Amino acid sequence: MPDDLAAPGGASDTKAPAPGVSAAAARRPRRRDIQGLRAVAILAVVAYHAGLPIPGGYVGVDVFFVISGYLITQLLWDEVAGGGRLSFSRFYARRARRLLPSAVLVIVVTVAVSVAVLGPLEATAVAKDAVACALYVGNYRFAFQATNYLDSQGPVSPLQNYWSLGVEEQFYLLWPALLLGATVLAGNIGVARHARHRAKRLSAPDRSRWAVIGALTVVAVLSFRLCVHLTSTDEPWAFFSLPTRAWELAVGGLLALAAPFSRRLPGWALAAIGWAGLGAVAWSFAAYGPQTPFPGTAALVPVAGAGAALFAGTRHLRAGPAHLLGLRPFQPIGTVSYTWYLWHWPALILAPAIVGHALGLTQNVGVCFLSLVLAAVTTVVLEQPLRRSRWLSTRSVRSLVTGGALSLGAACVAVLVVAEIPPPAGSGHAAAARLVTHPANRRSTTSTTIPSAQATAASLDAQANKVAQDSLNDPDVPANLTPLLADAAADAPVPENDGCFDNFTDTTVHPCLYGDTTSSRTVVLFGDSHALQWFPAIDNIANEEHDALVVAAKATCPPIDITVFSPALGRDYTECNQWRAAELQRMSTLRPAVVILGFSREYGIADDHVVVDGEAWLSGLSEMINTIEQTSGARVVLMGDDPYPQQNTPDCLSRHLTFTPDCDIPKHYPFYNPEGIPQEQTVTATTGAGYVDTDPWFCISNTCTVIMGNMLVYRDDNHITATFANWLTPVVAANMEVATDGAF
């Protein structure tokens, strides 16, 4: 993680300060405990990412934030208090020499390796990430991708660790102006420090210190409140953005300004504060985990703990934690902590692609060790020589121009990579799949027409199944594939772009009307994204039958009377319960003719604290169907789900253009739901609802396809393309006719 080295030199140093280091910093004793705290933080982060049993190791990043706030504020305050002025150019020149060379090197190497070992779609995505990271706005790109449910299904970026660098670079951009502004208001700079202040009891430096403390306190309070709010409503933005992380940096800054007050405390009290702080950090490493709502109030523990350890280290007490943290084994690790942080994550993410298989725990630890070696070499060969370069440090403009050129150069390289990678395309050929349809006779189903409707549905199911079988026998991606692999992610149903797919925190009912909007007869499509994926077919049928179609769809919210846990929000998904209740109330007033339920069966796999097709799940499904039937009088039909690919389908196919079987779906759990299908059929039969079995549209005896004729079936790792859903219209219509006894 980026942060300044503690003051070079010691109290008795008589040598000239190192290049770019203020005289006040040079006089301050070296803080070996800060290097030790860095070492503790990076070891926790790396261990967590490697899969070692340190479930809360990710809070090491928060420790780094506190250290950065402490050191940068201390550095800036030395200049303001010592000379009454602040050199922005010198400050940013130091940051450029310290941070940019190593960061740019890792970005360029990561992009190059990604191009060599990943598929073209994944490599392109990494290059786009690199552009954002080189310009230090990667944290907002990652926040948007994580917030956008349908964009968060792809592989983790090997540059995702750069989110924290984005936060800190934005902090560096704003922090000097904040401190300078507060100091000006206190009357310590320029005209404001003239005689009218000299009679006051507080000296000008003291007034400035209290003004800056006040400013940082306001920032910390406002940022923390926003952090707590967004953690419960939009956790990705709480996690990745500067406004929600600024309080952690501000805490470090406040402690830097409060350092002189440590002299007023007895040594035993200061030591106790330090040990309590270090203990709090260690406790959070062990007690927190991936399911902890974070950052929010949970971040208070490691942030306060790191701050307490830093505060206690302002006086070197043999009884305090500074003595432990200052021991020799911690020092080299602290020295390379920044470059190790940069290297370890892309190494862990790209290593499986390099060796061709997933890595185990021992192998992950080995990769982390190799990244430590890379970090040490980078620090010695690149970072330290440039940071100490007298040619760069004697004129700030040289560092600024060099840093800017490096960042822009890395961004340009990434842009060129995006432009030069050709979109993946197969060389095979597949005829456009066609279905032989029969004249529909819906809404007149009787005892004599039911067999005819069932025969039509069976015929169309068989035709779709034959296309699936033929496609499984062809190992080549068709050159005429539609949509193209590069365009697959955008091949989504219309309501997603109309604002009719509710996000995690939305609990309101939206007037999302499709089909024949003038009709007085209504059909409702109700569920999560796996209900919405059938929209193209359902909308076609609604238009054909002159029905109005109401879309009620919400991210990861199954239309089942059960509470699920939301990993995205880090807590029980109460908004889902509220939204379902609102939609049920609307249906009781709307009184639709048919309600079509659809939902993902991946909830248990995603650790949503439910057992899909377990007793509570099936009971909740039964209760939901009964409620809809009793309150609205609608005919209810449940859509079966699609099989789940082993990985992102377009990415997989882009790597296997001539051997698609590597991307096909095994017909067994967790990719397929062999036990759940008959259980759901039993529930619908018991409640009087209909059920549409989608299995023949995807699968043969033991495998399910990801290509149908010349059509791409999946746009990511679980949602079907709008193109495929549209093609299935007659198949869905025939099965709906049977499932609803001609009501739809």
Write the pLDDT tens digit of every residue in 228-257: 999 888 888 999 999 999 999 999 999 999
Q: Calculate mean pLDDT across residues 75-86.
A: 76
Task: Please give the Cα distance from 744 to 742 (Å, whole number).
Answer: 5
Non-local CB neighbours of 478 within 8 Å, separated by 6+ positions? 426, 428, 429, 430, 707, 709, 710
More confident residue, 331 or 435: 331
Distance of CA 339 to the CA centre of its chain: 23
Instruction: Tally DSSP H helices, then E strands, for the chain.
Output: 29, 12
What percentage of the chain carries pLDDT values higher than 70? 90
Q: What is the pLDDT of residues 577-615, one digit of tens each?
A: 999 999 999 999 999 999 999 999 888 776 677 888 899
Average pLDDT over residues 545-569: 92
What pLDDT is stored for residue 160 in this prediction?
A: 95
Average pLDDT over residues 384-392: 88
3-state secondary structure of 30: coil
Among 12-16, 396-400, 624-628, 717-721, the least confident range: 12-16
What's the pLDDT band for 24 if we cut at 50, 70, 90? low
pLDDT at residue 200, rounded to an integer: 46
Predicted local confidence at residue 452, as pLDDT: 85
pTM of the complete model = 0.87
Q: Tell me, what's the pLDDT at 567?
A: 78
pLDDT for position 599: 95
Residue 10 predicted with pLDDT over 50: no
Q: Please name the residue ranges forming H helices in 88-137.
A: 88-117, 120-134
Predicted pLDDT of residue 197: 45
What average pLDDT does range 14-19 have in this prediction? 44
Q: Could you give the dihedral angle defined by the CA atoms of residues 480, 152, 57 and 232, in that order, rounded to the nearest 10 degrees?
A: 180
Q: Which of 424, 435, 430, 427 is nearest to 473 (CA)?
A: 430
Q: Which tokens is 524 given?
A: 């409702």
From the centroid of its chain, how far is CA 416?
A: 26
Q: What is the mean pLDDT of residues 363-368?
A: 97
Is residue 12's pLDDT more than 60? no
| Reported confidence tier of residue 491, pLDDT bands at 50, 70, 90 | very high
Helices (H), 567-715: 574-590, 615-632, 649-655, 676-687
Asked whether the predicted pLDDT for residue 204 surpasses 90, the reply is: no
Distance CA 347, CA 368 (A): 7
Q: What would the mean pLDDT of 452-477 be, rounded to a whole number?
A: 94
What domains does the chain contain, in order, with CATH numbers? 23-420 (no CATH), 450-739 (3.40.50.1110)
Please check the confidence at residue 300 and state whether its pLDDT lies above 90: yes
Both tokens of residue 585? Answer: 């109330």
The predicted model gives 18-30 an average pLDDT of 57
Tokens of 279: 């203990």
Report d(CA 390, CA 395) in Å as an integer. Answer: 9
SS (H, E, C) 320-372: CHHHHHCCCCHHHHHHCHHHHHHHHHHHHHHHHHHHCCCCCHHHHHHHHHHHH
Split at pLDDT 50, 70, 90, the class of 444 is: low
pLDDT recorded at residue 149: 46
Q: What angle do CA 622, 628, 630 make, to 5 degrees?
A: 100
pLDDT at 669: 86
Mean pLDDT of the chain: 89
| Predicted pLDDT of residue 435 | 87
Average pLDDT for residues 304-330, to the nearest whole number?
91
Higher pLDDT: 290 or 735? It is: 735
d(CA 139, CA 157): 12
Strands (DSSP E) along 484-527, which ranges?
513-515, 522-527
For residue 11, the model assigns a pLDDT of 31
Q: Check residue 603 and give its pLDDT.
A: 87
557: CB partners within 8 A, 6+ apart = 502, 527, 528, 564, 573, 575, 576, 579, 580
85, 621 contact by CB (below 8 A): no
Give the angle 101-333-93 at the CA atoms, nearest 5°: 30
pLDDT at 325: 94
Percent residues over pLDDT 90 in the chain: 70
